[in-house]
């Protein structure tokens, strides 16, 4: 329960009103801030928010056990609250200035080996229109490292088979040109000349990949297809719509691609986001070294 300190509840109300008025935060976000600060009030007991010291806040954070991400979110709530207190002249100094978020253990993306990818690509039966479509989608996703939303959102006019590139609309409505490679170009050409025409049945759409009803593919439908093929081709391996994108980046780096080039291909705004794949590649190299080196 929250402390009965007289001004704590009033301060929470005022802080919540300020967040809503200034930033227009959602009800759930405002409730999240309030829950975090109510936990602090309970920890402080008879001490008001204004009287809390840096040492008390540090002890509060240390007493909370859980994931680093939860602790980081809690610290973010405290920092925002005390920044507001300082701005409103309710305190003279900010007790959170020296508090640092816990270090997170880096989470490496799960990837498929090159052999796994080959098995997955070969899973669809390309003698049917749907199988041809699915094989082409897998080939394009792996060749271009697209996000799934980018893949299903592709339009026919964004594909240049002669130049072997795609024009992709990524996050933040940023466009980028992505090379396809000969294999993906060949599958796309075959799909456009045969399977797509059969699936549309004289219907018309700008979307590149279509369903049996002639509608555009959805992310959910693609995910279901990926799970179905993956269960057969690479049983027991981690699969998600992002897996082939991860494989694209890691395999490029394994084969010597420059990190900046991979950043551009993936459409990452910050190269720090791309650097995770260098760690994945290094981990893979250590495993291979331990397995094959005579003194591994």
Active site residue 245: yes
Greater pLDDT, 107 or 179: 179
> Which of 43-52, 88-97, 230-239, 249-258 has the largest mean confidence?
88-97
Active site residue 171: yes
pLDDT tier, 2 (very low <50, low <70, confident <90, very high otherwise): very low
Q: Please give the pLDDT value at position 78.
A: 92
Q: Where are the domains of the chain?
A: 6-87, 114-292
What is the reported pTM? 0.57
Superfamily the domain 114-292 falls into: Intergrase catalytic core (1.10.443.10)
Average pLDDT over residues 258-273: 61
Averaged pLDDT score across all residues of the chain: 81
Task: Using the predicted structure, report yes or no on whether residue 1 has a pLDDT greater than 90.
Answer: no
Task: Using the predicted structure, report yes or no on whether residue 40 has a pLDDT greater than 70.
Answer: yes
Q: Please give the pLDDT value at position 16.
A: 86
35, 171, 227, 260: which is the annotated catalytic residue?
Answer: 171
64, 176, 268, 279: which is the annotated catalytic residue?
Answer: 268
Greater pLDDT, 24 or 35: 35
- Asked if residue 138 lies in contact with residue 120, where contact means CB atoms within 8 angstroms, the answer is yes
Active site residue 279: no
């Amino acid at each position: 329960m929250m402390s009965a300190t007289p001004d704590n509840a009033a301060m929470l109300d005022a802080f919540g009103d300020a967040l809503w008025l200034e930033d227009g935060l959602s009800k759930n976000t405002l409730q999240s801030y309030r829950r975090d600060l109510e936990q602090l009030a309970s920890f402080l007991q008879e001490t008001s928010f204004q009287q809390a010291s840096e040492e008390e806040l540090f002890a509060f954070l240390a007493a909370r056990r859980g994931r680093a991400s939860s602790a980081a979110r809690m610290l973010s709530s405290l920092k925002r609250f005390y920044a507001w207190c300082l701005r409103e002249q309710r305190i003279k100094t900010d007790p959170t200035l020296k508090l640092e978020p816990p270090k997170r253990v880096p989470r490496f993306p799960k990837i498929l080996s090159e052999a796994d990818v080959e098995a997955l690509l070969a899973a669809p039966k390309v003698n049917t229109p749907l199988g041809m479509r699915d094989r082409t989608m897998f080939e394009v996703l792996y060749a271009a490292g697209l996000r799934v939303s980018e893949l299903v959102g592709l339009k026919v006019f964004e594909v240049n088979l002669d130049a072997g590139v795609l024009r992709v609309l990524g996050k933040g409505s940023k466009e980028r040109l992505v090379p396809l490679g000969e294999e993906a170009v060949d599958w796309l050409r075959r799909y456009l000349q045969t399977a797509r025409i059969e699936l549309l049945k004289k219907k018309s759409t700008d979307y590149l990949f279509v369903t049996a009803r002639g509608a555009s593919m959805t992310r959910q439908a693609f995910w279901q297809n990926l799970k179905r093929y993956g269960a057969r081709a690479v049983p027991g391996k981690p699969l998600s719509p992002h897996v082939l994108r991860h494989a694209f980046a890691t395999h490029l780096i394994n084969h010597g691609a420059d990190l900046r080039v991979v950043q551009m291909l993936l459409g990452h705004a910050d190269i720090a986001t791309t650097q995770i794949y260098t760690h994945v590649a290094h981990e893979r190299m250590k495993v291979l070294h331990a397995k094959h080196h005579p003194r591994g």
